Amino acid sequence: MTQVTAEFAGVPLESYSFTLNRGITPSVAVVSTIPVPGPLNIPAGRLRLQFGATTIDFEGMAAEVAYFRSVKNDNGWRWSLHLTDRRWKWQFGRVSGEYNIRLADGSTDPAQRKTPGELATLLLTRLGEIEPDVSRMPAGVFPYVKWDGVNPARALASLCESVGCEVVLGLDNRVTIWPIGQGPELPTNDSLRYPIFALNATSKPVKLVVLGSPTRFQSKLKLEPIGKEPSSGHHKLIDELSYVPSTGWLSESPWSFAGVTDDTNRMAALDAIWRWYQVTAQSDDSLPVPGTSTSIESAEQYFPLLDELVEASQSIEGIYRTQKPYVVGDFWPYSDAPGNASDLQYSDRFQLLQDRGIVQFPYPVLGLDTSGAMEKPILNIVVAHGVKDTAGEPVRLERVRILSGGSGAFTIRRPELFESFVSSAGSLIDNSAAVREEADRYLDIFAARFTGAPQRHAEYAGFAAIAPNGRIAQVRWEGGTRQIATTKASEMFEFDLSEPSAVQRRRSEFTDQLKESI
Amino acid sequence: MQPTDLRAPEFNDAVRVVNTSGEVVPPFAVMRVVSTTVVGGTITHSIAKPNSTFQRMYLVNGPISIAAHSGAEGLAKWLTSGGFVMYESGSPTVGQSWGAKSGQWSLSQHRPGFLIKGGTATYGNPVVAAVQEIVTSLLGKTTTTHTIDTAQTVDIYVGAVGSETTSGMSLSARNCFATVPDDRFVTVQYLNGQPYLTAARCSA
User: What is the predicted pLDDT for the residue at B1?
Assistant: 32
The length of chain B, given as a count of residues: 204
pLDDT band at B145 (very low <50, low <70, confident <90, very high): very high
CB atoms within 10 A of CB A324: 11
Cα–Cα dist A255/A270, whole Å: 7
Candidate from A247, A259, A372 with C-beta closest to B64: A372
DSSP state of B66: B
- Spell out which residues of chain A touch residue B6, defining contact as CB-CB under 8 Å: 255, 270, 363
Candidate from A247, A267, A372 with C-beta closest to B63: A372
Judged by CB atoms closer than 8 Å, whether chains meet at B71 and A259 is answered as yes
Q: If you count residue pairs, one on A and one on B, with CB atoms under 8 Å apart, how many are there? A: 80
Which residue in A has a C-alpha nearest to residue B84's C-alpha? Answer: A336
Judged by CB atoms closer than 8 Å, whether chains meet at A252 and B123 is answered as no
Judged by CB atoms closer than 8 Å, whether chains meet at A372 and B3 is answered as no
CA dihedral sign of residues A464, A466, A472, A476: positive
Judge whether A458 and A472 are in contact, CB under 8 Å: no
User: What is the predicted pLDDT for the residue at B5?
Assistant: 40
Does A335 contact B at CB distance below 8 Å? yes
- Spell out which residues of chain B touch residue A251, defining contact as CB-CB under 8 Å: 67, 69, 72
Judged by CB atoms closer than 8 Å, whether chains meet at A374 and B64 is answered as yes
What are the backbone angles phi and psi of residue B199, rounded to the nearest 5°?
Answer: -160, 155
Closest CA to A136 of A186, A185, A182: A182
> How do residues A141-193 score in pLDDT, each as one tens digit?
999 999 999 999 999 999 999 999 999 999 999 999 999 989 999 999 888 88
Distance from CA of A256 to the nearest CA of B (A): 7
Q: Which of A255, A273, A340, A375 to mutate to test the interface with B (most CBs of B within 10 A)?
A: A255
Candidate from A253, A332, A339 with C-beta closest to B73: A253
* Distances in whole angstroms, Cα of residue A361 to Cα of each of A197, A237, A275, A277: 73, 16, 5, 8
Lowest mean pLDDT among A183-187, A384-388, B40-44, B127-131: B40-44
Cα–Cα dist B11/A115, whole Å: 57
- Spell out which residues of chain B touch residue A255, defining contact as CB-CB under 8 Å: 3, 6-7, 11, 16, 73, 75
Report the complex ipTM. Answer: 0.85
Q: If residue A446 lies in a helix (H) or strand (E), which one and from where to where?
A: helix A432-451
Cα–Cα dist A87/A514, whole Å: 20
Candidate from A267, A337, A364 with C-beta closest to B123: A337
CB atoms within 10 A of CB A131: 9
What are the backbone angles phi and psi of residue A58, rounded to the nearest 5°?
Answer: -125, 110
Asked whether the whole model's pTM tops 0.80, one would answer yes
Closest CA to B61 of B113, B97, B25: B25
Q: Which of B65, B75, B120, B131 to mutate to test the interface with A (most CBs of A within 10 A)?
A: B65
- Spell out which residues of chain B touch residue A334, defining contact as CB-CB under 8 Å: 8, 10
Instruction: Compute chain B's Rg from CA coordinates.
Output: 18
Q: If residue B85 lies in a helix (H) or strand (E), which one and from where to where?
A: strand B83-86
Low-confidence ranges of chain A (pLDDT < 70): 1-2, 37-40, 68-75, 202, 451-452, 517-518
Read off the pLDDT of each residue in B98-123 and give the average, rounded to a whole number. 96
Judge whether A495 and A488 are in contact, CB under 8 Å: yes
Does B71 contact A at CB distance below 8 Å? yes
Judge whether A359 and A280 are in contact, CB under 8 Å: no
Examine the pLDDT at B25 and tell me if it is beyond 90.
Answer: yes
Q: Which of B5, B23, B45, B69 to mutate to test the interface with A (most CBs of A within 10 A)?
A: B69
Does B118 contact A at CB distance below 8 Å? no
**How confident is the prediction for chain B on average, in pLDDT?**
92
Does A341 contact B at CB distance below 8 Å? no
- Spell out which residues of chain B touch residue A338, defining contact as CB-CB under 8 Å: 27, 63-64, 123-124
Cα–Cα dist A338/A324, whole Å: 29
Candidate from B9, B65, B123 with C-beta closest to A339: B123
pLDDT band at B2 (very low <50, low <70, confident <90, very high): very low
User: What is the predicted pLDDT for the residue at A194?
Assistant: 83
Distance from CA of B92 to the nearest CA of A (A): 18
